[in-house]
Amino acid sequence: MSARIRMIAHASTAALRAAAFPGDEPLDAHGSRKAAALAATLKPADYAVTSPARRAGETATALGLAATSEPLLAECDYGRWTGLSFDAVEASEPEALARWMAEPTSAPHGGESLALLQQRAATWLGSVQEGHIVAVTHASIIRAAILHVIDAPQAAFWRIDIAPLTVTDLRYDHGRWLLRSCGAPL
């Protein structure tokens, strides 16, 4: 089996610009315009999938993709921190935030741990069929997929920066995944 996946980070949202833990918000005007402008540069694929989140679906639509929803590509569940800014959480729960960032198995917010997020990304990669796939999803899922592919420690999650609308190119061939490029423009 051989497969190529282009994972595209969704376009910008108000929560992303405010450095907040996102909920199910729409794209902001800038994100919508930027995604629509990039639609012509997107090369065809055999099929497209998207996170169930509104912002990922809107990005896929703006890119001209007829994508199906894939629950395994959902954003990390940030529990009670959803909708709060990073600064607000740091001010109200500094120890919990520090623990969450240092210990991949912790979930002090009551949502999903980063270890479970990485496990979910690995499960999705394991379910991929042959062909060329475009997956519109979240920076957190893309980071988790990269860690899985390169067999990096979970603590490296915070050392990967995925900007809106960047593309991460993964390849599967001869029984192994490869990271071909990360952060490449459409």
Tell me the per-residue pLDDT of 117-138, one tens digit each, with 9 for 90 and over: 999 999 999 999 899 999 999 9
Residues sharing a CB contact under 8 Å with residue 28, sequence separation 6 or more, in sequence order: 12, 13, 14, 17
Which residue numbers in the chain have pLDDT < 70? Answer: 184-186
pLDDT for the residue numbered 96 = 98
Q: What average pLDDT does the chain have?
A: 95
Domains of the chain by start residue, with CATH: 3-184 (3.40.50.1240)
The predicted-structure confidence for 51-74, as pLDDT tens digits, reads as follows: 999 999 999 999 999 999 999 999
User: Rounded to the nearest 10 degrees, how much is the dihedral formed by the CA atoms of 14, 17, 23, 29?
Assistant: 30
Question: Tokens standing for 114?
Answer: 């980063």
Strands lying side by side in the sheet with 47-50: 68-69, 47-50, 131-137, 3-9, 167-173, 176-184
- Dihedral over Cα of 93, 96, 102, 104: its sign: negative
The answer for residues whose C-beta is within 8 angstroms of residue 186's C-beta and 6 or more apart is 8, 38, 41, 42, 63, 165, 167
Q: What interhelical angle do 139-150 and 114-127 show, nearest 10? A: 70
Percent helix, strand, coil in the chain, to 5, is 45, 20, 35
